[in-house]
Chain A
Amino acid sequence: MKFSYAVPASLLAASILFTGCASNNTNGNTAQSTNGAGTNTATNAPAATADAAKTAEAADFTSAIEQYRTFVIEQCDLFVKETEKFTGAVKAGQIEEAKKLYAPTRMYYERIEPIAEALGDLDPHIDARENDVDPAEWRGFHKLEKALWEDKTTAGSEETADQLLKDAQLLRAKVETVEIDANLLVTGAVELLNEVSSSKVTGEEERYSHTDLYDFVANVEGAQKIYELLKPELAKKDAALEQTIGERFAALQAELAPFKSGDGYVSYQQLKEDEVRKLSQNLDALAEPLSNMGTILGV
């Protein structure tokens, strides 16, 4: 995770555009991922995208944006649900159960991290690592991670657990207000891979639990989701780029496959040096063309 305390202005700027769409969705808060595809999209599309694209042949991102919104809300709902289980286990002193729930719970968050980052302090509150913030302000998942794996006790973690659940619920509530536009999608996909590049691939994200591969996979899945949604527009604009990105996603997935273990992934500590390097380089090989998806926004 990376953040600044101030909300990144590019995201703020990007967010001004779509207030109308956002409010439409406030009560559609359960998983409707299957039907959101293209029902009522065409009507408000031109107004919505004109600013973002600033091009005569303005691409229509309405459908992609609505589908992404649905995806984000779905992930958020699951995130809150699983966080409730996880923090419940922490509070009940069930260390082994909490450890088992920790990484899978985080995956829902990691898939939509750029959205959380657009919501001010929520990302540091939920996902700050020990040296990311002033010690007095440290809270969230990684504080509990340290308690579970390093201190091996949940005593004294009750407040942190409660706070985390509240923050997760706040994220769920606030996510309704995030204005999503094509620019956010494009930069968000790259940011997800940057997250991997900056901390997960080096094993620095989950320094106590070594569950970095869960985050790694979730970030990549989050980026891939965006790519899939933008694929039709991208294919129109630059078919070769669309194909390259698809191939590189496949290559990275293939690289990750051997590290699956049961429902989850092996510990980062089990990775050999050359395996880490290969993952890192495959990730960069994907992120480089992915960063050119901005071409669909026009010049």
Chain B
Amino acid sequence: MNKHDKDKQPTPTTNSEPSQKLLDTKVSRRDMLRLTGATGLGLLLGGGAMGSLLSRGGTAAKAPVAPVQADSSIPFYANHQAGILTPAQNFLYFAAFDLTTTKLSDVKKLLQEWTTAAAALTTGRLVGNTNDSPNLPPSDTGEADGLTPSRCTLTFGVGPSFFDERFGLAGQRPSSLADLPPFVGDNLDPAWCGGDLCVQACADDLQVAFHAIRNLARIARGTAVLRWTQEGFQRTGEADPKNGTPRNLLGFKDGTGNPDVTDEAEMNKIVWQGSGDGPAWMNGGTYMAVRRVRFRIEVWDRSSLSDQEATFGRHRQSGAPIGARDEFDKLDLKAADASGKPLIPADSHSALAHGDGTVKMLRRSYSYSGGLNAKTGQLDAGLLFISFQRDLVKQFVTIQQRLSRNDRLNEYMVHVGSAVFACFPGVREGGFIGDTLLG
């Protein structure tokens, strides 16, 4: 019996007291299977075990049930890749890979296998077909078995090094896809830079996101290896039912000025490559900039509120521009006090990031916590900055050059990692990730 084939699987018990309880608490048959699957005991031990599991009262059933939502999967097959305009999930697990093969056919095979796996991972199905054979290691690593898809998205891209001499694709490299120029103050550690390939896994559950990367890395063995990974988080939807703008680890709202992802025309202007922008295989794709930005947390913590607000150009509590009331009030860089001094300092983060307002990008960053800096005993925490844009040079580089030279915030942070990737257009059912380039 294939316990994972949920749709064909009969309910293990029908009239017993536990299942009655389940009905009382509005637990669906599927949810119950998830519950039993998660414990891994239900079917092995039969009805008795189920009984003891559930007889602990409503709590045992309720805990895993609460987050279950029918709409918790985000379609993998679409015109554009998911995880870009998708409202940010609670967690991120980011992975950069290096290809160890030199054969393009291996790369193509990997992307095909990743496509199949991604379709399963984003819908909460198990990866592979050998999950029940006693003589084989299960093809899915199992830690997300029984969990909901948790709005898992997997976003794939290729870095500039993908177009070096190894695969004969140099002529296909989009012109803006190149290692970023050095910015003033960069303190990059090669261990946090670059990658031939990237996978951005986002989900409302960290275990689901980890599971996705783990299984993709497993599939890649022999063809590609992990180069660097980073977990990311933001406040969860549960902690912020009003769904306000998330705060970064400096305590300020981050993302207030982001463009509206529901505005298709704006997205075509800012995010998606259009025909004529670059090589045709990237039409409908986008370019990703990733920066691992360590915050000098201890230093920030001892700066006064007025310094903090002048650094961001916004009020901490409301998120409003200095001198304004509401978070979404216009950033009026001309507003001045009685003496003519700008209310929002010209070298504040908001003022510089905004510039004259003509250059925009879509930010989709997550906070990270990397434990302790062994050297200083200080927290290694900050922001995994991620932005999507139609052109890396015209958008990200332009803004980052402005910021790196003058931003007051530079005193409180240091860029330690950097990578850029071309994120393919979306995959159609029957196709595979990157088929516009390798198909």
Contact = CB atoms under 8 A, between A and B. Distances in A.
Interface in B168-201: 182, 184-187
A9 B307 CA distance: 10
B310 to A, nearest CB: 6
Contacts of B186: 131
A197 interface: yes
Nearest to A9: B345
A2 interface: yes
Given A2-B410, A197-B376, 13 more contacts: A2-B411, A4-B410, A5-B347, A5-B405, A8-B347, A8-B408, A131-B182, A194-B302, A276-B376, A277-B375, A280-B376, A284-B298, A288-B301
Given A6-B406, A287-B302, A134 B184 contact: yes
A163 interface: no
A278 B347 CA distance: 35
Contacts of B406: 4-6
Contacts of A198: 296, 299, 411, 414
A263 interface: no
Contacts of A294: 304
Contacts of A4: 347, 405-408, 410-411
Interface string A256-299: 00000000000000000100111011001001101100100000
A99 to B, nearest CB: 26
B370 to A, nearest CB: 16
Nearest to B306: A10
A129 to B, nearest CB: 9
A118 to B, nearest CB: 14
Interface of B: 182, 184-187, 296, 298-299, 301-304, 306-307, 310, 341, 345-347, 374-378, 405-408, 410-411, 414
B347 A6 contact: yes
A197 B296 contact: yes
Contact of B378 (A133, A284, A290): A284
14 contacts: A4-B408, A5-B347, A5-B405, A9-B341, A9-B347, A194-B411, A198-B411, A198-B414, A201-B376, A204-B187, A277-B374, A288-B298, A291-B303, A294-B304
Given A276-B375, A280-B378, A190 B302 contact: yes
B206 to A, nearest CB: 29
Contacts of A131: 182, 184-187
A198 B410 CA distance: 11
A110 to B, nearest CB: 17
Interface string A198-215: 100110100000000000
Interface in A63-96: none
Interface residues of A, number: 32
Contacts of A276: 375-376
Contact of B376 (A5, A134, A277): A277
A277 B302 contact: no
Contacts of B346: 6
B185 A132 contact: yes
Contacts of B347: 4-6, 8-9
B284 to A, nearest CB: 37
Contacts of A2: 410-411
B252 to A, nearest CB: 17
A2 B378 CA distance: 19
A281 B374 CA distance: 11
Nearest to B345: A9
Contacts of B345: 9
A284 B319 CA distance: 28
B334 to A, nearest CB: 15
A33 interface: no
Contacts of A132: 184-185
A15 interface: no
B407 A197 contact: no
Contacts of A287: 298-299, 302
Contact of A291 (B296, B302, B341, B377): B302
Sort A-B residue pairs by CB-CB distance and give the 3 closest, nearest first: A291-B302, A280-B376, A277-B377
A5 B345 CA distance: 13
A133 B303 contact: no
A153 interface: no
Contacts of B411: 2, 4, 194, 198
A187 interface: yes
A13 interface: yes
Given A5-B405, A131-B187, A277-B375, A190 B341 contact: no
